[in-house]
Amino acid sequence: MPTIYEVEHLHQPSGWLSPGYLEIDDRGVIVRVSGHRATSEETQTLAGFGVPGLSNLHSHAFQRGLAGRTEHVTGERAEANLWTWREQMYRFVDRLTPEDYEAIASLAYLEMLQFGFTSVCEFHYVHHQSGGARYDNPAEMSDRLIAAADRAGLGLTILPVLYAHGGIGKPPEKAQLRFVHGVDLYLALIDTLRSRRDRCATLHVGAALHSLRAVAPDEVRAAVAGVYAIDPAARLHIHVSETTQEITEVEAALGARPVQWLLDNVGLDGKWCLVHATHLDAAELAGAAASAAVVGLCPLTEANLGDGLFSLLDYHAAKGRWGIGTDSQCSTSIAAELRMLEYGKRLELRRRNVIARPADGLGSHSGRVLFDSALAGGEQASGQGGGALVPGRRADLVMLDGDRNVLLGHVPQTALDAWIFGGTQNPVRDVMVAGKWVIRDGRHPKEPAIREAYRDCIACLTQ
């Protein structure tokens, strides 16, 4: 039996329906959307603002365990940056057991749901035991992530990462041995993970290359060909151009800047997600926008690590596609990430409302432009099948509570502006993934157990 919801205000690609009627079938797919009650069948009423769930397009779930633990100066280095943070991360990852990996990911995934994400692209590179020995089950750590997403009820696009070198022409460091695969065993892992999909309808399997530092050109070509032989529609993600140091190294070794090399050598298209892409020159920016690839921005992680600011306005004006990820999990809040993205440019340019366009209907509201862009980019990068509350899409619905102070007195036109810019209170009240409620009235039934497992694990890890 389909379920029909009467939503007080329902987000639509072209505006809002107030009320909107949303009919969802037993498979969790939206079959009808209307501004009118079409039948005499019973409806369930949902007060507030109903928006599509967003896909978080870049996550390393285990790094949730490091949040707040690297915000001090150690005295070992005069300068702290991404590379010094990476040393701290390596020390943490060295101790992680499969149980820890699952416990930390469960908390991170629960928090993503609580802030309105309904799926995540997990850029997963911790595959083996500390020191590099294989687990009996080569997919052990991947299976832990699948279990964590299943426990939380979050859609998962798992992106096993190919990681082969410690840097261009360098063998892996000891701490990196947990990450390393040859191309053949890497492709075998993807095959294995695809067999897990019949257990979980919201599990998708894509692929990722760690970076052009960690994967050599011949390996990039072999992996891309191998992935497409398995699944011609597979999503492919890569870390790229996060720091100027990486650009210098890639340019010296490959003769081109990283995004330019990808444009010239692998043929970027809409299946690709370029994670960070912080430092692009004008030709790379135009090429990336024209390729229809998604740029995966992680505004709070990039701010936390001091990476730099992406040329968002030029890229957006060139109709470049982008979405947001929570990467190191120093935040899992959609509103906080989008606010950081817009505020970074406001501070740089000393102007307000920089991404919105005057006299452009919905496009004149910063909140709406930011949310809708991240929604489309997240769906494209994840392939989850949601991304809009329209017939044929998966029913991923997030209800924002109009009674929370942050939304009090707001109407649909300003609701997204208020959510993102109107305060730090989280108005997410109910979250539905694939037609099933996973959070109702702010409560997730497994939250106490997930928190307890995390508390136990982090106490051991940080002793």
Residue 442 burial class via C-beta count within 10 angstroms: exposed 0-12, middle 13-18, buried 19 and up: middle
Task: Look up 127 and say whether it is catalytic.
Answer: no
| Cα separations in angstroms, 376 against 18, 262, 330 | 22, 23, 23
Q: Shortest Cβ distance from residue 395 to Zn ion (Å)?
A: 29
Of 202, 403, 32, 428, the residue nearest 5 (C-alpha): 32
Nearer to Zn ion, 284 or 327 (CB): 327
Is-contact 89 353, C-beta < 8 A? no
Query: What does the alpha-carbon distance between residue 417 and residue 324 come to, in Å, rounded to a whole number?
Result: 17
Of 69, 52, 48, 57, the residue nearest 6 (C-alpha): 48
Q: Shortest Cβ distance from residue 275 to Zn ion (Å)?
A: 6
Residue 170 burial class via C-beta count within 10 angstroms: exposed 0-12, middle 13-18, buried 19 and up: exposed
Nearer to Zn ion, 332 or 366 (CB): 332
Which helix (H) or strand (E) is 46 found in, with range?
strand 44-52
Query: What does the alpha-carbon distance between residue 284 and residue 262 come to, in Å, rounded to a whole number?
Result: 10
Stretch that binds Zn ion, among 14-22, 28-36, 319-327, 446-454 (CB under 5 A): 319-327
Q: For residue 245, give both structure tokens.
A: 């140091």
Q: Shortest Cβ distance from residue 68 to Zn ion (Å)?
A: 18
Say how many residues touch Zn ion, by CB under 5 A.
Answer: 1
| Cα separations in angstroms, 393 against 10, 183, 238 | 15, 34, 27
* Among 327, 372, 417, 430, the one annotated catalytic: 327
Nearer to Zn ion, 237 or 394 (CB): 237
Q: Shortest Cβ distance from residue 86 to Zn ion (Å)?
A: 11
DSSP secondary structure string, 253-267?
HHSS-HHHHHHHHT-
Stretch that binds Zn ion, among 31-39, 80-88, 188-196, 320-328 (CB under 5 A): 320-328
Nearer to Zn ion, 250 or 453 (CB): 250
* Among 127, 239, 276, 365, the one annotated catalytic: 276
Nearer to Zn ion, 111 or 327 (CB): 327
Q: Shortest Cβ distance from residue 298 to Zn ion (Å)?
A: 7
Q: For residue 89, give both structure tokens.
A: 């991360």
Strand duo 321-324 + 20-24: pairing? unpaired
Stretch that binds Zn ion, among 6-14, 28-36, 126-134, 324-332 (CB under 5 A): 324-332
Contacts to Zn ion from residues 157-186, by CB under 5 A: none
Task: Look up 276 and say whether it is catalytic.
Answer: yes
Closest CB to Zn ion belongs to which residue?
A: 327
User: Is there a cis peptide before residue 19, judged by omega within 30 degrees of 0?
Assistant: yes
Nearer to Zn ion, 85 or 421 (CB): 85
Nearer to Zn ion, 29 or 82 (CB): 82
Four-CA torsion 241, 330, 337, 257, nearest 10 degrees:
0
Stretch that binds Zn ion, among 322-330, 354-362, 381-389, 446-454 (CB under 5 A): 322-330
Strand duo 44-52 + 397-400: pairing? antiparallel
Is-contact 57 381, C-beta < 8 A? yes
Nearer to Zn ion, 103 or 298 (CB): 298
Nearer to Zn ion, 327 or 430 (CB): 327
Query: What does the alpha-carbon distance between residue 199 and residue 251 come to, in Å, rounded to a whole number?
Result: 44
Q: Shortest Cβ distance from residue 58 to Zn ion (Å)?
A: 6
Q: Shortest Cβ distance from residue 126 to Zn ion (Å)?
A: 12
Report the SS3 class of residue 163: coil
Stretch that binds Zn ion, among 84-92, 184-192, 326-334, 429-437 (CB under 5 A): 326-334
Q: Shortest Cβ distance from residue 237 to Zn ion (Å)?
A: 9
Of 203, 223, 225, 88, the residue nearest 153 (C-alpha): 203
Q: Shortest Cβ distance from residue 59 to Zn ion (Å)?
A: 8
Query: What does the alpha-carbon distance between residue 204 and residue 216 come to, in Å, rounded to a whole number?
Result: 26
Stretch that binds Zn ion, among 13-21, 82-90, 184-192, 321-329 (CB under 5 A): 321-329
Contacts to Zn ion from residues 327-356, by CB under 5 A: 327
In this structure, which amino acid lies at residue 155?
G
Cite the active site residues. 276, 327
State the residues that interact with Zn ion by CB under 5 A: 327
